[in-house]
Amino acid sequence: MSSLRALRRIPAALLIAGALAGCGRSEPEAVNPTTETLADFSRRVEDYVTLRNNLADSLGPVDVNTSQADIAARAARLADGIQKARTGARQGQLFTPEVSAVIATLIQEEYRRRPAPVLETREDQQDELPVVFEPKVNQLYPTSFPLATFPPALLPILPQLPEQVEYRIVGRHLILRDVEANLIVDVLRDAMPE
């Protein structure tokens, strides 16, 4: 856990510079740990997407003329299939400790760059705050809570996700959510500043 805390203190500029180091060079170099960490995260997300796409394909294609009730029923079947396929899923399978440290550092650095008036009024963060429940892996995102708009300044600094998965904020936690199945794929606890 101490290595996680130490990684969280790495300035975002160093993380980003490290991620970009070696671009366009032909001679072999040592593997950058940040680059490898983010590549591992992308592989884990892609593995999840492959699993969920196979399950979605088994349900057949979505007809554009399908009723809202049929779309909701399909989403429920998909979520049920994913939950059964991932019965042993636990927190940290996609947000490993290494990637959690990198992402948490990027988020902290982005919040530190926000101007004081914005932080005081929290106007740009109002949509980040209202959703507060204890998210768990393989849990359906409760329909009683709104899907708050994700902060636009954070999205470009986080690793890009396939269209089937999105970032959401729940309290101080960052979650990965399956868009169609409305399922929480993984949770990064306390990623957001207080």
Residue 93 lies in a domain: yes
Please give the average per-residue pLDDT across 180-187, as a whole number.
97
Containing domain of residue 130, as a range? Answer: 2-17+31-188
In the chain, the percentage of residues whose pLDDT exceeds 70 is: 76
- pLDDT score recorded for residue 51: 98
Q: pLDDT (tens digit, 9 = 90+) per residue, 96-119?
A: 999 999 999 999 999 888 776 555
Residue 167: phi and psi, rounded to 5, are -85, 145
Residue 123 identity: E
- pLDDT score recorded for residue 81: 97
Could you list the beta-strand ranges (E) of the chain. 165-170, 173-178, 183-188
Q: pLDDT (tens digit, 9 = 90+) per residue, 33-75?
A: 889 999 999 999 999 999 999 999 999 888 878 888 998 999 9
Task: Give the distance from CA 152 to its chain's centroid.
Answer: 14
Residue 131 lies in a domain: yes
- Residue that has been written with the tokens 């290595």 in this structure: 3
pLDDT class of 186 with cuts at 50, 70, 90 = very high
- pLDDT score recorded for residue 159: 95
Please give the average per-residue pLDDT across 159-186, as a whole number.
95
Sheet holding 183-188, edge to edge: 165-170, 173-178, 183-188
pTM above 0.85, yes or no: no
Dig out the tokens for 116 from the structure.
């004081």
Residue 25 lies in a domain: no
44 to each of 9, 12, 59, 89, how far by Cα in Å? 24, 23, 23, 12
Dig out the tokens for 18 from the structure.
């490290």
Residue 23 lies in a domain: no
175 pLDDT higher than 90: yes
Q: pLDDT (tens digit, 9 = 90+) per residue, 108-149?
A: 999 888 776 555 554 444 444 456 789 999 999 998 888 877
Q: Please give the tally of structural domains in the chain.
A: 1
- pLDDT score recorded for residue 32: 79
Residue 87 identity: T
Dig out the tokens for 126 from the structure.
């109002």
Residue 26 lies in a domain: no
